[in-house]
């Protein structure tokens, strides 16, 4: 057994273990932490890894495949059909216009027209792994910019197929093997007539659809009946690997194939088990992928031509950013979402490593130009997470949302002249909204899950699609005349942002907020907002039932729960101002526990009546 295999594996695992907490500690996210650590341990810096970086990259790209499979599990066919417009329209225009703009800029810089076109097609693609992971970390996956970004990335995965077919047509240079094909091996589909390749591709996709729709669920049911957990895990991994091999053999993106398989299984009763089985592998492999990208940054090349590489990176991000912002405006996205959308997708993508090597092998691009392109792509991927953080945390808070248009679904928000606005209609907001409605105080409900809005409307509840973090949408819903805003959303940071927005634009609103955690409760208290700790009531109801079952009198059990709740709320208010002083904070928290024990010990619960005891 090669000792280097264990050594390199150890280095990558240690780097991954250090990068994630470091990145989150610094507030830049895990992805940027992985890229930074990768650059440090790469051959251009410390040199701990590097000789087998390409092999590691091919292995780690499987993490992208697993990520697309998991995304597919979250999307059913009806939702995918609803996204056909953004996928084909927005995605298609993004690839076409970005490719033309980059090709035009390259040609103006004295690059040959063949190489310019090749660069345009390759650099028009963005990084699926970095974009999706960064959007998830920043809490933007379900926003308009997040869903549109996903649609564009899905089209880009499809676009790899025609790009691979078009690149050889541009060949003019002598075929070189100095750079090889970076792992792009020949497949059996290249040996069949050109006219039949389309049928082979269609057949491969059809096989995935048929297997996912009609074969996998019965098979998974049989595997689950064995009650051997590792059998289901190995079956899931074999499924993903098999589909990836099938897609690769016909020249398709393996990630696209596994995404289709995931969509086919989205309605399966084993969806959640598949997710839990795959998630650890996906997280680890994606971490290795990002580290490998960081390790691939050629600092020697960059140091030799710093100005040229810097201009390539800035030019790439600027050109794609302008195209993306323009398309977002054309598709009527709100101003803040346009900025986030453009910042999210403005970098190059991991397909550049594969397509760049393939283009060199086919004699389309010269080796020196390919090296500079790869360096620029790697740097653009490295700056993508901080660019999105800059837009979200620095630029947007200063300029806010200045436009009034939103996507088509958001235009249906009406001012019902309700006294109460309710943001979020999930497990916390749902029972609250129904109770208020039954009491004759129907709130204006804002929910940003479009599928949930459709369901609620079908059962007769009035609900509007919209993001409560946007001032103009709150205004359209009647925030200027309403009396109360209830924040029932489960994103703590977004909750605080909405509170700040309302204090600025709608100071008349009294705010009641869901506290998702004790730390969130501290923040809400400091902001002067009335808060209600999630699940506290139902937890105490359960405790009351347990005490009754153990023989304690019902009235006394309820009284103990009441006293506990009052003490808990007082403790949060007392401790909140001292969160910055760890020693004092911990001391007060311990003292509150002792006071609670004393409070209940001094008023012991009588035993005897139980849950069926009579009063008096």
**Per-residue model confidence (pLDDT) at position 611:** 40
| Range from 48-52, 319-323, 486-490, 510-514 that averages highest in pLDDT | 319-323
Residue 9's CB: how many other CB atoms inside 10 A? 12
CB 572 within 8 Å of CB 525: yes
Classified as helix, coil or strand, 115 is helix
Q: How far apart are CA 427 and CA 435, in angstroms?
A: 13
Given a contact cutoff of 8 angstroms between Cβ atoms, the answer to whether 127 and 348 are in contact is: yes
**Dihedral sign computed on CA atoms, order 552, 556, 558, 564:** negative
53-399: CATH architecture:
Up-down Bundle (1.20)
Contact 168, 362 (CB under 8 A): yes
The mean pLDDT of 394-401, rounded to a whole number, is 72
Judge whether 8 and 295 are in contact, CB under 8 Å.
Answer: no
pLDDT beyond 50 at 182: no
C-alpha closest to that of 291 among 540, 496, 611, 8: 8
Residue 369 pLDDT exceeds 80: yes
Strand order in the sheet with 510-515: 464-465, 444-447, 420-423, 484-487, 510-515, 530-533
More confident position, 448 or 485: 485
Report the pLDDT value the prediction gives residue 5, as an integer from 0 to 100: 63
Q: How far are the Cα atoms of 351, 360, 365 from residue 167, in angstroms, in the given order?
A: 14, 10, 10
DSSP state of 552: B
pLDDT tens-digit readout, 528-572? 888 888 777 777 778 788 878 878 788 888 888 888 878 777 777
Contacts of 416 (CB under 8 A, 6+ apart): 442, 444, 462, 477, 478
Question: Rounded distance, CA 99 to CA 428, Å?
Answer: 46
Residue from 442, 447, 448, 453 nearest 420 by CA: 442
CA atoms of 412 and 255, how far apart (whole Å): 36
Instruction: Give residue-wise pLDDT tens across range 228-277.
Output: 777 877 887 888 888 888 877 776 667 777 777 777 777 676 777 777 77
Residues near 545 by beta carbon (within 8 Å), at least 6 away in sequence:
611
Say if residue 178's pLDDT is above 70: no
Provide the β-strand partners of residue 533: 515
Tally Cβ neighbours within 10 Å of residue 440. Answer: 6
- In this model, does residue 327 exceed pLDDT 90? yes
Per-residue model confidence (pLDDT) at position 478: 84
HEC profile for 232-296?
HHHHHHHHHHHHHHHHHHCCCCHHHHHHHHHHHCCCCCCHHHHHHHHHHHHHHHHHHHHHHHHHC
- 69 Rama class: left (phi>0) / alpha (psi -120 to 50) / beta: alpha
- Tell me the per-residue pLDDT of 571-609, one tens digit each, with 9 for 90 and over: 777 777 776 666 776 777 677 767 666 665 555 545 444
The pLDDT value recorded for residue 104 is: 94
- Per-residue pLDDT at 332: 82
Nearest to 274 by CA among 231, 327, 318: 231
Angle at 513 between CA 538 and CA 28, to 5 degrees: 105
- Banded pLDDT at 161 (limits 50, 70, 90): low
Q: What is the mean pLDDT of the chain?
A: 77
Q: In the prediction, which pLDDT does 561 show?
A: 81
Domain 408-612: give its CATH architecture: 3-Layer(aba) Sandwich (3.40)
Positions of E strands within 344-498: 420-423, 444-447, 464-465, 484-487
Provide the 10 A C-beta neighbour count for residue 133: 25
Q: Give the pLDDT mean for 409-426.
A: 72
Domains of the chain by residue range: 53-399, 408-612
As a whole-number percent, the residues of the chain with pLDDT over 90 amount to: 9
Please classify residue 417 by burial: count the beta carbons closer than 10 Å to its beta carbon, then call 0-12 exposed, 13-18 middle and 19+ buried. exposed
């Amino acid at each position: 057994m090669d000792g280097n295999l264990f050594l390199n594996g150890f280095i990558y695992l240690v780097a991954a273990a250090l990068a994630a907490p470091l990145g989150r500690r610094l507030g830049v996210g895990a992805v940027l932490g992985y890229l930074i650590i990768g650059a440090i341990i790469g051959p251009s810096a410390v040199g701990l890894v590097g000789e087998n970086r390409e092999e590691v990259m091919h292995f780690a790209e499987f993490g992208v495949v697993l990520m697309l499979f998991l995304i597919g599990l979250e999307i059913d066919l009806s939702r995918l059909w609803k996204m056909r417009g953004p996928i084909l329209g927005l995605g298609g225009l993004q690839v076409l216009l970005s490719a033309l703009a980059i090709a035009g800029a390259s040609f103006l810089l004295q690059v040959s027209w063949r190489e310019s076109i090749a660069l345009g097609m390759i650099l028009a693609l963005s990084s699926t792994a970095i974009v999706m992971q960064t959007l998830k970390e920043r809490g933007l996956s379900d926003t308009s910019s997040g869903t549109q970004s996903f649609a564009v990335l899905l089209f880009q995965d499809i676009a790899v197929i025609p790009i691979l077919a078009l690149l050889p047509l541009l060949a003019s240079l002598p075929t070189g093997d100095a750079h090889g094909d970076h792992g792009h091996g020949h497949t059996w589909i290249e040996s069949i007539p050109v006219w039949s390749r389309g049928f082979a591709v269609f057949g491969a996709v059809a096989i995935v659809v048929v297997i996912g729709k009609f074969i996998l669920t019965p098979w998974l049911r049989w595997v689950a009946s064995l009650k051997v957990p590792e059998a289901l895990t190995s079956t899931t991994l074999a499924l993903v690997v098999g589909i990836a091999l099938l897609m690769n053999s016909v020249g398709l993106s393996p990630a696209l194939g596994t995404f289709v398989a995931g969509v086919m299984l989205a309605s399966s009763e084993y969806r959640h088990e598949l997710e839990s089985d795959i998630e650890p592998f996906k997280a680890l492999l994606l971490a290795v992928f990002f580290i490998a990208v960081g390790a691939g940054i050629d600092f020697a090349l960059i140091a030799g031509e710093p100005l040229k590489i810097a201009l390539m990176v800035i030019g790439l991000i600027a050109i794609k950013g302008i195209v993306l912002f323009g398309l977002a405006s054309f598709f009527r996205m709100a101003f803040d979402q346009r900025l986030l959308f453009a910042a999210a997708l403005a970098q190059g993508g991991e397909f550049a490593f594969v397509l760049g090597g393939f283009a060199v092998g086919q004699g389309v691009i010269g080796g020196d130009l390919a090296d500079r392109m790869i360096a620029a792509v790697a740097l653009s991927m490295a700056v993508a997470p901080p660019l999105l953080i800059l837009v979200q945390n620095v630029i947007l808070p200063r300029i806010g949302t200045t436009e009034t248009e939103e996507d088509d679904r958001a235009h249906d928000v009406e001012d019902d002249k309700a006294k109460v606005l309710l943001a979020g209609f999930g497990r916390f907001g749902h029972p609250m909204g129904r109770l208020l409605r039954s009491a004759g105080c129907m709130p204006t409900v804002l929910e940003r899950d479009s599928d949930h809005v459709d369901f609620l409307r079908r059962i007769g509840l009035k609900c509007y699609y919209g993001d409560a973090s946007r001032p103009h949408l709150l205004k359209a819903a009647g925030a200027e005349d309403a009396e109360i805003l209830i924040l029932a959303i489960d994103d703590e940071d977004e909750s605080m942002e909405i509170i700040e927005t309302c204090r600025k634009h709608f100071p008349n609103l009294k705010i009641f907020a869901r506290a998702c955690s004790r730390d969130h409760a501290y923040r809400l208290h400091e902001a002067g907002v009335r808060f209600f700790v999630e699940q506290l009531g139902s937890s105490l109801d359960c405790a009351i039932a347990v005490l009754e079952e153990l023989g304690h009198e019902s009235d006394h059990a309820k009284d103990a729960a009441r006293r506990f709740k009052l003490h808990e709320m007082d403790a949060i208010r007392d401790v909140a101002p001292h969160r910055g002083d760890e020693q004092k904070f911990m001391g007060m928290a311990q003292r509150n526990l002792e006071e609670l024990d004393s409070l209940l010990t001094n008023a012991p619960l009588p035993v005897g009546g139980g849950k069926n005891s009579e009063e008096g």
